[in-house]
Amino acid sequence: MTSEMALKTVPARGLRVLLAPDSFKGSLDAPAAARHMAEGIRNALPDARVTQVPIADGGEGTAAVVAAACGGCWHAVDVTDANGQLVRMPFAACESAALGAFAIFDVAAVAGLPDAMAAPGARTTRGVGQAIRGIAAQGFATIVVGLGGSSTNDAGAGLLAELALDFLDAAGGRIDPVLDNLASIRSLRPRADAGRWQAPRLVALTDVTSPLCGRLGASMIFGAQKGVTDLAQADEVLGEFAARCELALGRHAAQAQGAGAAGGLGFALRLLGAQLLPGGSFILDAAGLATVAGYDWILTGEGRSDRQTLLGKGPALIAALGRRHGVPVTLLSGRLPMARCCARRSTAASRCRPVLRRWPGRSRRAGHCWKRPPRSWHGSMRPRAVPFRRTTSRMPRPAPQPQRHAVPPVRRSAATMPRACSRPARHGAPPHSPHLPYSPRLPRPGCPA
């Protein structure tokens, strides 16, 4: 008996449901998504026992989920964001049996993609290094970094420049290590103050398993969504930069799983001795979801399920966990570009349902907002739409596309169009027959031009 058939045999009165969604980026964070799912389940199955465990996979919202699971308290530190502006970055102080006392923060709070204003090649990761220095100065011996949701693609060059290395050009001067300048680096040297501070234990939570370079690397998979246009050139530049850094620090990290997370920040942290862990597994352990054998049905979800989901995202880990314990898993996704059958085989989920039947129009994405979840969230659990929060004041209209014809029409002005002969054409057809396409011909001898 399959897990889906086993679900049908469980009476609704005793159904034990686990809700473990990730965030629906741009619409709902993970706790809000879990609340709306729970409301729909309770309306459809009033006697079901519902457990809400919002998850994250190392990307945006990871620190909040871990802090909620571990009972952490919040602090803040001043850092430089990806645009070079000073911002106040929050971090949580938590404690667990595995790590003891530790601090955790999201890279998205320093260099998040929604806040990126600078050009893709001018964004910096120096703020991540400043955050590590500032948190360590407050006495934390273990720092957990949630990678994911970043706007940078510099292989963590700014982080390395802030903590370990100086990057020099051909004249021996320091160079700002952003993506556009990485090809100009000619030499590296250790920072003068590299040994003056006690480096903390670093744990990096990755939301993907991609290496730094290659077909599945940071540039080729995630570069386009960050605005990088020449992906092949960016991949080549990162590869050369990584080889220089590995030679300078004596450690290989470019091919490590998760090295391509956050535009290569996983690579930089691994060079500094950080432990790379799958963010989803770390959070599931922190939330006490090492086993799900006590549940009859699991619902997970995210904003968009595509090939990035298969690289270690939270819903894929939940689906694999459910299959391992024989519990059916349903994936609710804002967009599901893959065919449902392919998505089920790839994510190990029993069912994959798109939350949106079709992508909403420009007016709904830009300004339409619901005060509460629509009725379609309730009852059948086959929602047609989700609440969309206003993300921009005005969405750009798409450029008009020219109409394509099998044979482009010939357009001539009255001044250049040859005048047809007034005498009938051959076979008795007039020069301008409505049943024949017009084809200009030279005037016959004896006819006026």
Name the residue range of residue 235's domain.
62-281
Which pLDDT belongs to residue 370?
35
Q: What distances in angstroms separate CA 255 from CA 143, 147, 209, 324, 329, one per listed residue?
A: 23, 17, 10, 28, 32
Q: Are residues 141 and 32 in the same domain?
A: no
Extract the tokens encoding 75.
Answer: 């602090």
Q: What is the pLDDT of residue 208?
A: 82
Which pLDDT value is given to residue 27? 82
**Residue 286 located in a structural domain:** no
Residue 131 in domain: yes
pLDDT, residue 375, reads: 43
In the prediction, which pLDDT does 392 show?
40
Residue 198: its pLDDT value, please? 81
Domain boundary among the residues 330, 355, 377 is at 377
Q: What is the DSSP string of 149-173?
A: SB---STTHHHHHHHTEEEE-TTS-
Does a structural domain hold residue 293? no
Answer with the residue of higher pLDDT: 290 or 125.
Answer: 125
pLDDT (0 to 100) of residue 234: 96
Query: For residue 391, is it within any domain?
Result: no
Q: Are residues 156 and 247 in the same domain?
A: yes
**Do residue 207 and residue 253 come from a single domain?**
yes
Mean pLDDT of 157-171: 94
Is the pLDDT assigned to residue 318 strictly greater than 80?
Answer: yes
Summarised one tens digit per residue, pLDDT across range 266-312 is: 999 999 999 999 887 788 788 777 778 889 999 988 887 776 666 66
Distances (CA, A) of 166 to 158, 179, 189: 10, 15, 5
At 175, give phi and psi (nearest 5°): -125, 140
Same domain, 111 and 126: yes
Percent of the chain with pLDDT over 70: 71
Contact predicate 209/312, CB 8 Å: yes
Alpha-carbon distance of 322 to 298, in angstroms, equals: 7
Q: Each residue of 393-434: pLDDT tens digit?
A: 444 555 665 555 455 555 555 555 545 444 444 444 444 444
Residue 157 lies in a domain: yes
* 99 lies in the same domain as 164: yes
- Tell me the pLDDT tens digit for each residue of 133-159: 999 999 999 999 999 889 999 999 999
Q: What share of the chain is helix, strand, coil (3-state, %, to 5)?
A: 35, 20, 50
Residues 245, 188: contact at Cβ < 8 Å? yes
Type of residue found at 422: S
Nearest to residue 221, comparing CAs of 296, 285, 213, 386?
213
Give domain status of residue 407, yes or no: no
Q: Please tell me the total count of domains within the chain.
A: 2
The domain boundary residue, chosen from 323, 356, 377: 377
Of the chain, the percentage scoring pLDDT greater than 90 comes to: 47
Indicate if 318 and 276 belong to the same structural domain: no
Are both 47 and 92 inside the same structural domain? no
Residue 331 confidence class, pLDDT cut points 50, 70, 90: confident
Tell me what pLDDT residue 242 has. 96
Interval 41-68: pLDDT, tens? 999 889 999 999 888 877 788 899 899 8
pLDDT digits (tens, 9 = 90+) for 333-380: 877 766 544 445 545 555 666 665 554 444 344 333 333 444 444 443
- CATH of residue 26's domain is 3.40.50.10350
Q: Decide: 148 and 62 in contact? Cβ < 8 Å.
A: yes
Q: Which long-range contacts (CB under 8 A, 24 or more apart) does 256-259 make?
A: 256/211, 257/206, 257/209, 257/210, 257/211, 258/147, 258/204, 258/206, 258/208, 258/209, 258/210, 258/312, 259/210, 259/211, 259/212, 259/218
Residue 418 lies in a domain: no
Question: Do both 257 and 126 map to the same domain?
Answer: yes
Domain boundary among 377, 409, 437: 377
Residue 248 and residue 196 in one domain: yes
In this structure, the answer to whether residues 332 and 362 fall within a common structural domain is yes
Strands (E), 81-124: 86-96, 100-106
In degrees rounded to 5, what are phi and psi of residue 288? 75, 30
Residue 255 has pLDDT above 70, yes or no: yes
pLDDT over 60 (residue 86):
yes
Pair (193, 95) in one structural domain: yes
Residue range 248-261: mean pLDDT, rounded: 93
User: CA 413: distance to chain centroid?
Assistant: 52
Q: What pLDDT sits at residue 135?
A: 96
Question: Mean pLDDT over all residues of the chain?
Answer: 78
Are the beta carbons of 284 and 290 closer than 8 angstroms? Answer: yes
Give the model's pLDDT for residue 427: 47
